[in-house]
Structure 1
Amino acid sequence: MKLPGIKGFDEEALKKYFKNTGMLLIGKVGSLAIKMLSSIAVANYLLSYGNGILTTSVSYVFLFAALAGLGLDQFIVKELHQYPEKREQILGTAFSLKSFAGLICIPLIYVAWLIYPLEGIKYSHIFLLSFMGIFQSFTIIDSYFQSEVKSKYIMQVQIIGNLVSAAIKVGLILMHSSITFFFIAYLFDTILLSAGYIITYNRKGRSIFNWKYDFSLAKKLLTLSWPLIISGIMVSIYMRVDQIMLKQILGDKGIKEAGAYNTVVMFSEALNFVPIAIVSSLFPAILNARRDDKVRYQKRLQNLYDLMVWLSLSFAIFITIASPIIYKLYKPEYISAAPVLSVHVWGSTFVFLGVASGQYLIAENFGHLSFIRTGLGAIINIVLNILLIPTMGMMGTAIATVSAYFASAFFILFIPKLRQQGIMMLKSLFLVTAFQKIFKR
């Protein structure tokens, strides 16, 4: 059966861009399956309290991930697509900027810890994780292969890296290792992935030693990306602050709840990479339509929104039905998270639509609105968490998250210039365009 929403991209575009998307999805799904199995094993080994310490620490450091990334990845792909002859300058400049930002994050995390420490969690563990930002600088190689529509190479790196990572974690479990070794393993995952990117890049006849720093290009990239840096920080807050707030508001009980809630987030957000992979591959085709044919441009956007809704609704319905079965994979102390998963997963629809409309904002040079919409989502999430966690625990957190995702996605309805896109998203959400296509046949 064909999904409504795919029709509208011409056959050539589908072949070219969905082949690359297919490679991205295969790599992500393979990596995801491996990571989920190893995460379940780690959660069962550490139990909810230990898993809460580990995952809350990761969430704490992740709040700084957007600053380390500088929001550059999307612009790197765009720059490489437009100026392939400047590859060495683009990659070298982006790497230098991201490396410096990752380095700056280490003392920033320490200062944040002095101001707002997490009781029951050691700073030494946070310190280990704070080095992840430096090694993540090599993700620009991922952007390079995306611009070349050759994501199969990144797929190979991710699958191999996750296999090695899973083997290490299983080994730690079999050796009855302390929780500190699992923090080291998290850091090693980033190092391993970076090494894989470098090796793959060099095997294709390239060399990272040919990269060059260009000051004027750095200014350009930072000027373009600063709204996305702020937006990314806001996204980090409203996607990761939940676990931290659970732990801080509920105390010791909150650490266990945070450990259980992490399993919810892992399954609920399992396919959040799908809209990113699809949009990353289709964005060049959408940009071409914007340049050549405005009618086709709007049609492709509507079809993209339709596709996002169909994929996310299918996923949400499946997870809702399967949640009791999923938690049979865990030890009994995690079972209370099953109904929370059934609520949290419905936020995926708004995440999918938000990713798609975010690309429209970039195409139309409305990138500065990204941090406003995500800022709104972050504020709503924090306020609702404060109100709901004391009485509802992690179920309140799930409700707060879904509400924040909805507000962030449909914020554009209140911007006159963007209202039409919001209406298009609503038509997709309520399956209006899907029924229109069915009755036209």
Structure 2
Amino acid sequence: MRIPSIPGFDQQALEKYFKNTGMTFIGKVGSLLIKMLVGIAVARYLSKDKLGIITGGITYIYLFSALATLGLDQFVVKELHQFPRHRDRILGTAFWMKVMAGLAVIPLIWLCYQVYPAKGTPYNYVFIFSIIGIVQAFNVIDSYFQSEVQSRYIMQVQVTGNLLSAAIKLVLIYLKMPLIAFVYAYALDFVLIAIGYYFTYQRKGRNIFKWGYNGQLAGKLLQNSWPLIISGVMVSLYMKIDQLMIQNIAGTKEAGAYATVASLSEAWNFIPTVIVTTLFPAILNARRDDLERYKKRIQNLYDLMVYLSLPAALIITFASPLIYKLYTPEYAYAAPVLSVHIWSGVFVFLGAANSQYLIAEGYTKLTFIRTGFGAIVNIILNLILIPKMGMMGAAIATLVAYAGSAFFVLFIPKVNRQGVMMFKSLFLISLFQKITKR
């Protein structure tokens, strides 16, 4: 089926990109459905209080995930794309860098817990989750398959791993196991994915034991990625700090209810990641070969982000009471909070697209400046609004912070044109211009 002709729209490019992203998208959607169904069962079994306790432990891992991953994923894909013959050196270097970073964050997480503990969440739960930082080093294999445009392997690993994870959690519910069993189960999720990546990579003559570490390459990767590390820390802060603050200000029950809001609202945030990760090579090629086509592709990318996120936000806004009725009546009072929180996704989509432009132009330092701005806004608003409005205050703070971060580029002269382009997409001006030029 062909889409009606619109000036600036490239049907052939769409078909090419859809083919490249299709398998990854299917894998992510399949994993999402599995997680949501099992998440409902776990939420009903654990109740708000226990769910809040687990959420507190997981939050620390998200806060330090950027340090553990070192912001390397995009640069590993880029290196593999440019130097495919150096595959073993690139993957080995990135792998050991991530392992060392994962080990380094364990004492940092302990220190953070001592300074600002999650009330009600024992440290031993946090420690179990902190091991995830080491295991995630195997995600460099994901970057390899992205560079080879072999998303079907990623899909197979993710779906299989999530099916096994779901089965384990359902067995735990059936056996009426205690909370600590679910803590181990959530940590095991990452181990299962890592095992899947390992065995998938070992096929067709590839061998993980041929990987080697190169100090010069490590320095190059760190030199490029350090702004993204800081940016990732800031993103983690303004994406997850609200959950920790709710737990400490309003208690574990409120944190458990808000965790369901965040999981339902943020479940779709993998979509822009899949799209922009796959389109990044095409954007780089256009920048190299044709600047006018490059600008059009950036605008089309912003348009696509809005076309995907805006309908989802509208639907969930009005369907949130029904969603919670199906989810579990115990959390039904969180439905209005979801109706507000879901709109932050629109700015997540736009921000993800704009990040590709900043990376392509070499403005990676701006990514942590703007995310730092978003983190500061979120923390300040959470301190003001949570004591007065509870979960709704956290949702409003998140929405304002995401919007502020996405459009912070308006205040930077050398990139403020991108803010204008995002506004054109957000208010459908770009779509109207394309239709009227037909």
Residue 128 (1) aligns with residue 122 (2): no
Question: Partner residue of 2:168?
Answer: 168
Question: Partner residue of 1:362?
Answer: 359
Question: Partner residue of 1:401?
Answer: 398
Letter in 2 for 1:419: N
From 278, 303, 306, the equivalent of 1:306 is 303
From 262, 267, 279, the equivalent of 1:265 is 262
Structure 2, unmatched stretches of 5+, are: none
In structure 2, relative to structure 1, the CA distance for the partners of 1:4 and 1:313 (3 Å cut) is farther
In structure 2, relative to structure 1, the CA distance for the partners of 1:318 and 1:6 (3 Å cut) is farther
In structure 2, relative to structure 1, the CA distance for the partners of 1:412 and 1:6 (3 Å cut) is farther
Question: Partner residue of 1:24?
Answer: 24
Question: Partner residue of 1:76?
Answer: 76
Letter in 2 for 1:336: Y
Give 1:391 deviation, angstroms: 1.0
In structure 2, relative to structure 1, the CA distance for the partners of 1:143 and 1:226 (3 Å cut) is same
Q: RMSD value over aligned CA atoms?
A: 1.5
Which string of whole-angstrom CA distances, capped at 9 and with x for unpartnered residues, describes residues 271-300 of structure 1?
A: 111111111111111111111111110011
In structure 2, relative to structure 1, the CA distance for the partners of 1:35 and 1:154 (3 Å cut) is same
SS at structure 1 position matched to 2:213: coil
Letter in 1 for 2:156: Q
Q: 1:13-412 counterparts in 2 under 5 A?
A: 13-250=13-250, 254-412=251-409
SS at structure 2 position matched to 1:71: coil
CA distance in 1, matches of 2:262, 2:33: 15
Letter in 1 for 2:231: S
Task: Report the number of matched residues.
Answer: 438
Which string of whole-angstrom CA distances, capped at 9 and with x for unpartnered residues, describes residues 338-357 of structure 1?
A: 00000000011100000000
Give 1:111 deviation, angstroms: 1.7
Give 1:24 deviation, angstroms: 1.0
CA distance in 1, matches of 2:405, 2:67: 20
Contact 2:6–2:434 under 8 Å retained in 1: no
SS at structure 2 position matched to 1:101: helix
Give 1:118 deviation, angstroms: 2.1
Give 1:189 deviation, angstroms: 0.7
In structure 2, relative to structure 1, the CA distance for the partners of 1:26 and 1:371 (3 Å cut) is same
SS at structure 2 position matched to 1:212: coil
Give 1:329 deviation, angstroms: 2.4
Letter in 2 for 1:165: S
TM, length-normalised to structure 1: 0.97
Letter in 2 for 1:180: I
In structure 2, relative to structure 1, the CA distance for the partners of 1:403 and 1:374 (3 Å cut) is same
From 416, 429, 432, the equivalent of 1:419 is 416
Contact 1:26–1:155 under 8 Å retained in 2: yes
Which string of whole-angstrom CA distances, capped at 9 and with x for unpartnered residues, describes residues 127-156 of structure 1?
A: 111100000000010000000011110001
SS at structure 1 position matched to 2:342: helix
- The runs of 4+ residues in structure 1 deviating greater than 6 Å are 1-7
In structure 2, relative to structure 1, the CA distance for the partners of 1:316 and 1:322 (3 Å cut) is same
Which string of whole-angstrom CA distances, capped at 9 and with x for unpartnered residues, describes residues 66-91 of structure 1?
A: 10000000100111111111111100
In structure 2, relative to structure 1, the CA distance for the partners of 1:85 and 1:415 (3 Å cut) is same
Letter in 2 for 1:200: T
CA distance in 2, matches of 1:244, 1:2: 47
Letter in 1 for 2:43: A
Structure 1, unmatched stretches of 5+, are: none
SS at structure 1 position matched to 2:414: helix
